[in-house]
Structure 1
């Protein structure tokens, strides 16, 4: 009987978990394939959209503005700073090795993203509890710096990785490293190793030593923390880490690392934030209206004369009273700003008092009063009565508290008589005076109260300087400017053009005003501004000596000086004819030294000195140019001690004139005034003829004073004809004997 065959065993059913695992694995593989395919597609799309190597070299990381002085030297750089582009072969090997060692050891082997570096940074994160090092490669950092931002988000990191792969596909390792080293940010506004080398060490990156390369390479991690100018100790410590890493990777030996003297490195001195910044802070905002370029790097060429700027800075620092501030603006004859000082120290105060501060100009505002009067038909030799006057309840008075009767306009202006200015303002109209001020460039509001003739409306230094420059320009409007041209990528995109077509007053009015201004400097309140060549100018002092001004011109340069406290508190002894006039002279002497001496169309004519009541004008203490008024223009008592008059030559105190029982001071003693004194204050050589300023030939006598009138003849040559009673010939003839013309 046959044996029965055993029944076959049925296969054991598969575990459902195994089936699910296999299915999941297949799905993941499929997704990985799809993701890889998408990644490859994304990388090649990104690669196709990347700019060329040459385009990446020329594209800056922001707009750079370099400002040049008149001589072409760079005075300040704004925005990103870029040095010379160094090709890979010119980059020192120590700089390349230091960067790779500290930023991306596997740079030569990875494909743009380094999984090993990422894993290492993650491990350190878990070991220390916080992120201390990133896993970004040099290629990723380049992608972030050029195309992205520093946001720590997954989307940005993903795009960074795509761009890194694309960069590796399009450019060689050497090209990537060249781009990186020339574009990465090293702090202090410096982009690229050449800019960083020049900023910190004062030379180009093609001459970097090992120690210098270690310092610069160490900056990338935290430019602000490791900057040698901000924290030298931190910079040295970071450089030591870089050297140690280079030794570990074998690019240098341990002995080379030890010999690198990081401690002994000498840093380039930081550029001073000096008064030049007052000028650039004023000039650069004008670019918004001059040009439309907002991205390409700009080269801005300016009018600033560095030599004049240094003299201006020194003049303000040396002459401004303690606790006060000073400002200065100097304009060339076409309006070019040659120097600008907005305060004694830019570092401690960036407030530009030359262009931003509005202060009362005091008697310097009388420029517009007399311009209006001259335009209305008055002449410098016209007689006007200095007497008490009341206008709409306002009663001005002279600083001397005296009146002297009939005087010429020249005398009234030279000694800043307030009553005469008030009468002139009333005659021509206070609105006319205000219109004249606006015509000459005063941009701040000008009130039309009677007291406005004494400078109670606030103005800016640059506006007042502009007005005086327009007088010096024979009545043609002068507009201050600081930018001459702007270039971008070698192309000129803006060039300044001077407009000389706007006539403010007739030339003869400007000439007559110059006549008055030079008399004020030679014999009046502005004598401290004499510089050994023809000068025309005016002082200004406000109530209680809160502000002191001097504005004037000589040899084509017009300069305005202001001094005062920012809180407008009084400054004892401050007058326009003291510290401001001295600062003006201290600047103008060197500023005009290389310029030819220019004579004015009208030469100096002495005022009627025996009628002038202010003895302080004789003895070197200029009047304050303004009576004390309240906010409504009403007179008030100053309550401040008066300065003791001193002799102009010796500085010795001189007695004040005695007062009569009524309280009115008597006239100055006769012996205090004589022809010798007149010759001294005017700088006149008695051996020279006062009419022609020429040396008197032997055997001839210069023009003499009129003994009957006991004074120097006045108004001798305000025009081409002598207006006195003794000479009607051509003033350039020079033929005279015993004071009379010869045939």
Structure 2
């Protein structure tokens, strides 16, 4: 068309388009500046890095002095260093194990692993917190040599810059050599040679696949996985390492299948006493309380030397042939005062008081009866001991007899299985499991009927702390050991403050439970534990006599005892009311020698429900918390009505006669009456 320009005017970009292209442009500029800045930082770091020979020098390391509550030195743990091993003398299995578990792309990344960072970011985002790291071996080496363990973005950035600089300054072989000779493996051992000598008693040049896997698995958490802390956990971690090596192609499936970490045996210094069970447990808690990694530490604990000596003496004098034993004692606030994890630390450092998971037997009935008491029953409430079938399960009493109508106190004191099983069935297995969780049991809990009699495994430490909460009138007694941590220069890094009290059950429920625990000792299955002063406690015996327990308390001290075999084989004649009760008695009598006698708090002062606030009825102090069935925190002003007891029991209302006192005579009479009835004879007058 005439007068129309043959050129079309270019369309103008939209506002959004201009913003997008502007952001891309500025992003490219910032990325370029960031790259140049990073390159400059790496170049400066390279120039400031010390030479290889300087980096080979052993660090001074950190020593730790652990003291008893009275200041007595228990043990000093210092760093140990082995021979420096050149790369060519390090076993191939050790190198491949470390790559597989700590840095699978070590051979090709530039010092940082972009893929690892991306994967960790996704995992942490999904988890809502930091659950996975992405540090390469080079980054870990940079942190160990030049930085601290503080978790800050600034430190991570410096760590990355140093790693990039080190990769440009040294070869991969040099970095791996430095790492394996300098990294901390737990138990005071720095470098693989020191670790090999400490854990196996030979130099690192003799390491095989299984032993290399154990050492490689320690880096993630030395205090948690070190054989000195937990040999079985170290072996379990090693199996994960071997599986990772198989997946990465470092070893063949046949080599992985043939590996037997269970056959690895550890060595222990012969001059270490049984208190090392306790001090090893303390060392596992240090890194959760302080991040100081260089200056020497002085740690004051809750251990009472007299209690510890009494525990060791009791274990050595009351042992059953072919068995192991464990003892743990604590105050009602959870302060652990003594710990023995086996009959001899020098021959077995496996801590059976803290680590071993075993069935608690009838000592678990504590939780069955606590639920019943919360539901309104009292020690004088009547229950029936008679044959019972729940599904395909028919629990039997240990003596094969049934006593008919008994009080709750009598059923508990005599450890009647049918009554405990009926209570758990009546009030719900979830309720019993929730009660156990509330009292600090963290191990898996079955909700099958047999759980009422203690079929779920747990630890002696957790069971003892549950009984300590009863001694504390229903207030949580979380186990603790470290009172304070200071440095050699006098800086206080940690000083334990009393925790806010958390009420687990109402004081009257704890008093009722104490009443029944006292009956078990005075006239029930726990009579062998008596020590000539008021005592409450409960026996525990598992099927086929594989485990025997006694857990009990006075107002001053709570203690738990376990006896059994590590292979869980039956022990002829082992029962909680026999050897464990006698060991408990020997320990408590000596530990409490000279301590004034005081009475148990088993008297119940019933609150007037409806006339005073719930918080007062539960004895809750300001700022305290109340736990629900599953361990959740409850609002004291919105308590479950089912937690309130009935106003009066059938005995109190006169519907049932007052029960006879639970004595030896009562038990003998009950058995005699039962036999007469079975023979078709009239009851004796």
> Normalising by structure 2, what TM-score?
0.54
SS at 1:540 equivalent = strand
Residues 539-578 of structure 1: pairs in structure 2 closer than 5 A: 539-578=539-578
Does structure 1 residue 445 correspond to structure 2 residue 444?
A: yes
How many Å apart are 1:594 and its aligned residue?
A: 3.2
Identify the residue that residue 662 of structure 2 maps to in structure 1.
607
Q: Is the 8 A contact 2:62 2:79 kept in 1?
A: yes
Identify the residue that residue 508 of structure 2 maps to in structure 1.
508
Q: Is the 8 A contact 1:555 1:595 kept in 2?
A: no
Does structure 1 residue 524 correspond to structure 2 residue 524?
A: yes
Instruction: Give the direction of change, closer, same or farther, for the CA distance of 1:420–1:358 in structure 2 (3 Å limit).
Output: same
How many Å apart are 1:388 and its aligned residue?
A: 1.1
Higher radius of gyration, 1 or 2: 1
Does structure 1 residue 387 correspond to structure 2 residue 442?
A: no
How many Å apart are 1:393 and its aligned residue?
A: 2.4
Distance in 1, Cα, partners of 2:491 & 2:62: 16
How many Å apart are 1:459 and its aligned residue?
A: 0.9
Identify the residue that residue 399 of structure 1 maps to in structure 2.
398
Does structure 1 residue 434 correspond to structure 2 residue 489?
A: no
SS at 2:559 equivalent = strand
Distance in 1, Cα, partners of 2:270 & 2:404: 59
Instruction: Give the direction of change, closer, same or farther, for the CA distance of 1:521–1:658 in structure 2 (3 Å limit).
Output: closer
Identify the residue that residue 24 of structure 1 maps to in structure 2.
none
Distance in 1, Cα, partners of 2:359 & 2:528: 21
Identify the residue that residue 129 of structure 2 maps to in structure 1.
none
Q: Higher helix share goes to which structure? A: 2
Distance in 2, Cα, partners of 1:615 & 1:548: 26
How many Å apart are 1:608 and its aligned residue?
A: 7.1
Identify the residue that residue 162 of structure 1 maps to in structure 2.
none
How many Å apart are 1:659 and its aligned residue?
A: 7.4
Number of residue pairs matched? 396
How many Å apart are 1:390 and its aligned residue?
A: 1.2
Q: Is the 8 A contact 1:404 1:612 kept in 2?
A: no
Q: Is the 8 A contact 2:471 2:555 kept in 1?
A: no
Higher normalized contact order (CA 8 Å, seq sep 6+, divided by chain length): 2
SS at 2:508 equivalent = helix
How many Å apart are 1:422 and its aligned residue?
A: 1.0
Distance in 2, Cα, partners of 1:432 & 1:666: 41
Distance in 1, Cα, partners of 2:426 & 2:673: 33
Instruction: Give the direction of change, closer, same or farther, for the CA distance of 1:74–1:405 in structure 2 (3 Å limit).
Output: same
Does structure 1 residue 469 correspond to structure 2 residue 468?
A: yes
How many Å apart are 1:446 and its aligned residue?
A: 0.9
How many Å apart are 1:602 and its aligned residue?
A: 2.8
Identify the residue that residue 371 of structure 1 maps to in structure 2.
370
Q: Is the 8 A contact 2:361 2:540 kept in 1?
A: yes
What are structure 1's unaligned runs of at least 5 residues?
1-44, 47-58, 82-145, 148-154, 157-187, 191-269, 617-655, 671-709, 711-743
> Normalising by structure 1, what TM-score?
0.50
Distance in 2, Cα, partners of 1:291 & 1:594: 38
Q: Is the 8 A contact 2:270 2:346 kept in 1?
A: no
Residues 264-663 of structure 1: pairs in structure 2 closer than 5 A: 272-488=271-487, 489-602=489-602, 606-607=661-662, 612=667
Distance in 1, Cα, partners of 2:511 & 2:666: 25
The alignment's C-alpha RMSD in Å is 3.4
Q: Is the 8 A contact 1:523 1:606 kept in 2?
A: no
Distance in 2, Cα, partners of 1:586 & 1:409: 29
SS at 2:492 equivalent = strand
SS at 1:560 equivalent = strand
Q: Is the 8 A contact 1:547 1:563 kept in 2?
A: yes
How many Å apart are 1:415 and its aligned residue?
A: 0.3
Instruction: Give the direction of change, closer, same or farther, for the CA distance of 1:405–1:442 in structure 2 (3 Å limit).
Output: same
Q: Is the 8 A contact 1:519 1:606 kept in 2?
A: no
Distance in 1, Cα, partners of 2:432 & 2:501: 23
SS at 2:391 equivalent = coil
Distance in 2, Cα, partners of 1:613 & 1:458: 34
